[in-house]
Amino acid sequence: MTLSAFRIAPLAVALTTVSFAQYKTINPRVQEVVAAVSEERIAKTMQRLESFGTRNVSSTITDPVKGVGAARQWIFDEFKEYSPRLQVRFDKHKVKAGGRVPKDIEMWNVIAVLPGKTQPDVQIVVSGHYDTIASARTAAERAAAAANPNPAAEDAGFKMGDPDAPAPGVSDDGSGTAVTMEMARVLSKYEFDKTLVFITFAGEEVGLYGSRLFSADAKKAATKIEAVLNNDIVGNDVAGNGIVDNTRVLVFSEDPGDSPSRQLARYMKDMTERYFPGMRAEPVFREDRFSRGGDHSPFLKEGFTAVRITTPAENFANQHSTTDTFANASASYTAKVARVNAASAASLAWAPMVPQTNRLVDTGPRKGLTTPLLRRGKSGYDAELTWKSEVPEADLLGYAVVVRSTLSPFWEREVFVGNVTTYTFKDLSIDTHVFGVKAIDKEGNESMVAAYGLPPRRYTTIESY
């Protein structure tokens, strides 16, 4: 890949002896991972998931070929076959009847863990949900909903039917499950620094139960989850209005503008441009589609970094209906989304840890808050950046600092500063720019950016500055 492929504007500062070309390298192992994604296997997985008829969490658990019980056992067995290095288990949670859950049930997430080598306590999660649901609306009600799609009102108009009735759920979310399973198959052939966790959640359609209970447990256990890549509705590229969109996938991330989740969305954009330029991972700067939610949201609530990955070409008429079938899906598009996941997950799992650009305040009125390690320098007109790494990696090449205007959504300028922990931009205002730092290893793997950001101020008295 040529340097012109990277849109980095020059800075009026001197580079270190390591050149731009030397640290902006392509990791051939990541290229291999991306190339190993199989559209044929993804198609077969989507078809197999459809064959269970329904995967409603309240459907039969005793039928060997139909219903949620057969589906989750098949996913478990597939994970086990991919690699002996995968640690496969059911994550079981008891849920009481209420809302869309008509009876007391036990929901089973299916999890495959690929332990990391040098940073096994740090986790990268790739996920989708395998459960399905279909509304019992009449044909006339479905036609009216399709003519005037209103996802925000979908839940209010939902009518629960027989949980064993057909609910194929190929795009929502057999596609995300297929991506997650393909990531487990492909990535388990490699050894990564960090631990990769592949999760197919249960209960998304009835209240995000699987992800809510899993993320709450992870919070209680102080689990170090660096990133959650949640895939939901990535199985079709023709929208309900007929528009075809098969060269991009949307990556939703929560506010504020420099939240860790927002950095993850930017990271996915960059890694997709680097390793799979035929596709665009397009950040959308809101937590989810308007007035809607998904399995990444409980992770955000618990303080983890998470994004939602979804098609820009949703078909509202097919969602939660018997027409969400393989015939109305696109395995080719789902495979593209899988390659986006592969580029991002593999890069993150081999990358150094994110630098620390903030410190915890332990005295004064701001005690307990974090403050950025960013100052105006001795002159009062510079940008003096300081950062630290909890445990510097043995193969660390150094750090790069990034800059953008406060009006720009993406980093505009970048400079590699070497294996140092401070850097000063002369005559660059910290009031009108946003700054960040990322770590880079000798293979060219990059961490996510750690941005310098202030916590919101909540005044108890009027202050003057």
Span 50-62, pLDDT tens digits: 999 999 999 999 9
CA torsion sign, 278 to 181 to 302 to 204?
positive
pLDDT given at position 361: 73
Span 365-399, pLDDT tens digits: 666 677 899 999 999 999 999 999 877 788 999 99
Residue 149 has pLDDT above 70, yes or no: no
Span 311-360, pLDDT tens digits: 999 999 999 999 999 999 999 999 999 999 999 999 999 999 999 998 87
CB 47 within 8 A of CB 181: no
Residue 13 has pLDDT above 60, yes or no: no
The angle subtended at Cα 257 by Cα 251 and Cα 261, nearest 5°, is 45
Determine what percent of the chain is predicted with pLDDT higher than 70: 86
Span 213-257, pLDDT tens digits: 999 999 999 999 999 999 999 999 999 999 999 999 999 999 999
SS3 of the chain: the string is CCHHHCCCECCCCCCCCCCHHHHCCCCHHHHHHHHCCCHHHHHHHHHHHHCCCECCCCCCCCCCCCHHHHHHHHHHHHHHHHCCCCEEEEEEEEECCECCECCCEEEEEEEEEECCCCEEEEEEEEEEECCCCCECCCHHHHHHHHHCCCHHHHCCCCCECCCCCCECCHHHHHHHHHHHHHHHHHHCCCCCCEEEEEEEECCHHHCCHHHHHHHHHHHHCCCEEEEEEEECCCCCCECCCCCECCCEEEEECCCCCCCHHHHHHHHHHHHHHHHCCCCEEEEECCCCCCCCCCCHHHHHHCCCCEEEEECCCCCCCCCCCCCCCHHHCCHHHHHHHHHHHHHHHHHHHHCCCCCECEEECCCCCCCCCEEECEECCCCCCCEEEECECCCCCCCEEEEEEEEEECCCCCCCEEEEEECCCEEEECCCCCCCEEEEEEEEECCCCECCCEECCCCCCCCCCCCCC
Half-sphere CA count of 448, side-chain side, radius 13 A: 27
Average pLDDT score over residue span 139-157: 57
- 456 vs 449, which has greater pLDDT? 449
Measure the CA–CA gap between 153 and 231, rounded to whole angstroms. 22
Average pLDDT, the chain: 90
CATH class given for the domain over 36-350: alpha beta
* Residue 60 CB coordination number (10 Å): 17
Residue 192 has pLDDT above 60, yes or no: yes
Residue 215 is encoded by which pair of tokens?
Answer: 């993320």
Residues 6+ away with beta carbon under 8 Å from 80: 86, 88
| Greatest distance between any 2 Cα atoms in the chain | 74
Query: Which of 433, 235, 435 shows the shortest CA–CA distance to 355?
Result: 435
Q: Is 345 exposed, middle or buried (0-12, 13-18, 19+ CB in 10 A)?
A: buried
- 107 vs 99, which has greater pLDDT? 107
**Local confidence band at 7 (pLDDT 50, 70, 90 cut-offs):** very low
For the chain, which residues make up each domain, given as ranges? 3-26+354-451, 36-350
Q: Domain 3-26+354-451 maps to which CATH number in 3.30.9.10, 1.10.1040.50, 3.40.50.720, 2.60.40.10?
A: 2.60.40.10
Span 256-273, pLDDT tens digits: 999 999 999 999 999 999
Span 420-444, pLDDT tens digits: 999 999 999 999 999 999 999 999 9
